Chains A and B, each alone.
Chain A
């Protein structure tokens, strides 16, 4: 089947990108691979529509993000959310400890807040691209970004980027 061949070719080519995005959202690889699989099954189901989209990557990103966000609405979803314990005290450098603390703080955000931060700052998408991936308006992205940063600030009160700048 021609559609299936094209699907397989696309998946093989973009698998590293998809796994990385899923990992950034989930925070752990097992959950990320499950999320990617769910996304790819949905992509298989809608392949023709996806292939005809203006940007196939944007379409797939939206599927993945929606699958990630949908997890929180499923009462039967019992995925373990990685949440490293936050250490008390200041985090002052870019070393391994600070990375753990930032990831642990991200894990304690809501899925929506985490998604908006990952897309805007880790995936480096602009507001419009983030809005398209989340399926909401640009204004909502801006407001949710502000809420997410505020939440992150509360979780990392002593973080000083580059060792000097304050939040």
Chain B
């Protein structure tokens, strides 16, 4: 019946086509082809750029860490906090100028142990420190190695992280003991540390530190061979610093600094004022004549935010030497440029912005070398970023230059971010493909 209905519908005669109808079709057709090619090229360019953005940061850079420049350098400002910072183990940074803890833990635990390159603006996390309960990592004087203890409890080994290759080496300690790492020798051969048998953790954050501070005895680790020697019979070692020639080590126990040779023979004692402590790791002056001291309340300072200024005083190793005057407003002394200049962490005001400054011991003149970003960029912008456990590569300080900080190289993105990013990109491409297909509609 329906066929009959349509059969009864003759077509009206077609009017003539408009002039230039086919020419218009050709013009529009050519334009359409050009647009499609441009759109395809644009889409491919976006895809390639997106892939490059994903792949390039993902390429491990450990095969080519920054080549040492003639002079090691410090960026004139430290980069801000980032969750995208890769680890030393995934992408070696080369030699570094500084190691520090950075972040905040007010609401979320977002602390990062970071190193920053001595030749380029490379920032990396030291995963070994994170894995071992946020343990202190002791930076070697040449900035190429970090020795990591263990804050989780008694440790059977230490971990040595090679910053030029990203490789790790474990150094056995024998029976598990609580460990506090104290100082590298200037030639990087030895590490002095304090060790004590400890029981199970009582849950306190500084359980290992406090136990070893009370009972720890001094030990000397030969880093290359892994041999360990007990040095003397001192107990309750708090800090230590090697002499500039590496032949002796100054060890603080209570209010006295004992000077020991590397066989453990004591050849002198320096008395400290009450409430003073030997500056950890770098307290012995390059000319061998003085020991630097800072306010000390009996703790280790490990994990404490660097906010409160104090002073640095100097005591002579030899009785007849005249020490330089005290330096005020120093948060932490970090090393020596030479016998007359120190490098220290300072703040503009109590609780203010943290800087690294060079201070002339004769004139007291200060020069700011670098500044930290302690703005409210931590914990998703809710908290101020804090710096703690800051150390510099002490052996690089005499030749240190200051470089203009460029864009930070944080290494390849963590897998936990690269995978969702890749999935998002794939989803966007799929969506684009689906939307750009001609639709096939049902009648």
What residues make up the interface of A, taking CB atoms closer than 8 Å to B?
4, 7-8, 11-12, 15-16, 19-20, 23-24, 29, 33, 37, 40-45, 66, 69-70, 73, 94, 98-99, 102-103, 112-113, 115-117, 121-122, 124, 134-136, 140-141, 144, 148-149, 152, 159, 161-162, 165, 167
Contacts and interface: CB of A to CB of B under 8 A. Distances in A.
B435 interface: no
Contacts of A159: 5
Contacts of A33: 17-18, 21
Contacts of A98: 8
Nearest to B28: A41
A136 B440 contact: yes
Contact of B1 (A8, A70, A167): A167
A24 to B, nearest CB: 7
A144 B441 CA distance: 12
Interface in B1-47: 1-6, 8-12, 14-15, 17-18, 21-22, 24-26, 28-30, 32-33, 36
Q: Is the interface of A mostly helix, strand, loop or mixed?
A: helix
Nearest to B2: A121
Contacts of A12: 22
A137 to B, nearest CB: 9
A45 B32 contact: yes
Nearest to B18: A33
A41 B5 contact: no
B442 interface: yes
Interface of B: 1-6, 8-12, 14-15, 17-18, 21-22, 24-26, 28-30, 32-33, 36, 438-443
A116 B438 CA distance: 19
B22 A115 contact: no
Given A16-B14, A66-B438, A135-B440, A44 B9 contact: no
A105 to B, nearest CB: 10
A115 B32 CA distance: 26
A28 B104 CA distance: 73
A36 B18 CA distance: 12
Nearest to A1: B30
Contacts of B22: 8, 11-12
A90 to B, nearest CB: 15
Contacts of A70: 439, 441
A24 B4 contact: no
A45 B36 contact: yes
Given A69-B443, A70-B441, A141-B443, A117 B25 contact: no
A124 B24 CA distance: 31
7 contacts: A29-B15, A40-B25, A66-B439, A99-B9, A121-B2, A134-B443, A140-B443
B354 to A, nearest CB: 58
Contact of A152 (B2, B18, B36): B2
A164 B294 CA distance: 116
A127 to B, nearest CB: 12
A139 to B, nearest CB: 11
B357 to A, nearest CB: 65
A45 B33 contact: yes
A22 to B, nearest CB: 10
Question: Max chain A CB contacts within 10 Å: which of B2, B8, B439, B443?
Answer: B443
Considering residues A19, A23, A45, which has the most beta carbons from chain B within 10 angstroms of its beta carbon?
Answer: A45
B8 A41 contact: no
B21 A37 contact: yes
A116 B443 contact: yes
B439 A73 contact: yes
B25 A41 contact: yes
Given A121-B6, A134-B441, A161-B5, 8 more contacts: A23-B14, A41-B25, A42-B32, A70-B439, A113-B443, A140-B443, A144-B443, A161-B4
Nearest to B440: A135
A66 B440 contact: yes
A81 B255 CA distance: 100
Given A44-B32, A99-B9, A161-B1, A135 B21 contact: no
Contacts of B29: 7, 40-41, 43-45
Contact of B26 (A42, A44, A69): A44
Nearest to A141: B443
A165 B5 CA distance: 11
B443 A136 contact: yes
B276 to A, nearest CB: 80
A69 B24 contact: no
Contacts of A37: 21, 24-25, 28
Contacts of B12: 23, 29
A122 B5 CA distance: 9
B441 to A, nearest CB: 5
Contacts of A167: 1
Contact of A135 (B2, B18, B30, B441): B441
Contacts of B443: 69, 112-113, 115-116, 134, 136, 140-141, 144, 148
Nearest to A131: B443
A3 B181 CA distance: 79
Contacts of B5: 102, 121, 152, 159, 161
Nearest to A37: B25
B261 to A, nearest CB: 88
Contacts of A161: 1, 4-5, 8
B32 A20 contact: no
